[in-house]
A = this chain, B = another copy of it.
Amino acid sequence: MKTRKRSNRDIALQSAATLFLTQGFQVTSMDDIVAHSGVSKTNIYYHFNSKDDLLRVIVDQLISHYEQRIQHVLSNSGASVLDKLERLCIILHENAGEHDYLGGCPFLTLYTQIAPEASEVRASIKRFFERQLHAIEGLLADGIARQEIRAELPVQSTAALLLSSIEGALFLAQAADKPFVLQEIFPALATMLK
């Protein structure tokens, strides 16, 4: 275990992310972040101009964190396409399940709370989903080429279905109080794809 001392900037970011995701972005004030993090307001404002600025950095960090983990699963050339999909469901479940995000998925939670005017953050999340859709399309095309997946499946439509079902399952894990829904849907997905 590395025991690197976290900077005040990191501590403030972590507190803000926790509060935005579990209490809500709109209801969290800079004073709440000061109280939760123990970092002074002067110090927080030294690093960040505003709550919107904190949100922007948090969304960029979340995107980078998730993309690294997803990329790690997809680049495992020894695994079958269904193994990769199952592994994706597991890591997404673990990430969301550790916490108690208001809407299950962190991107869904933040996206749904921010006003349409916050166009930069919304555009970042939109591009993130577009990249994931594209990655899943590649995975499915690969699975069809390797004859692991039914050749008659329409790739774009199936990729949209997979991404939709993962997002929906992360939300329902929270809203329908079914914490294991993402694992629960995998057997159906596996049967349907083969």
A residues bordering B, Cβ < 8 Å?
22-24, 26-27, 100, 102-103, 107-109, 111-116, 122, 125-126, 129-130, 133, 150, 152-154, 156-158, 160-161, 163-169, 171-172, 174-178, 181, 184-189, 191-193
Contact = CB atoms under 8 A, between A and B. Distances in A.
A112 B115 contact: no
B113 A102 contact: yes
Nearest to A150: B191
Most buried by B among A114, A116, A192: A192
A108 B164 CA distance: 14
Contacts of A108: 103, 108, 112, 171, 175
Contacts of A102: 111-114, 116
A164 B165 contact: yes
A191 B103 contact: no
A188 B133 contact: no
B100 A188 contact: no
A187 to B, nearest CB: 5
Contact of A192 (B167, B174, B193): B193
A73 to B, nearest CB: 19
Nearest to A175: B111
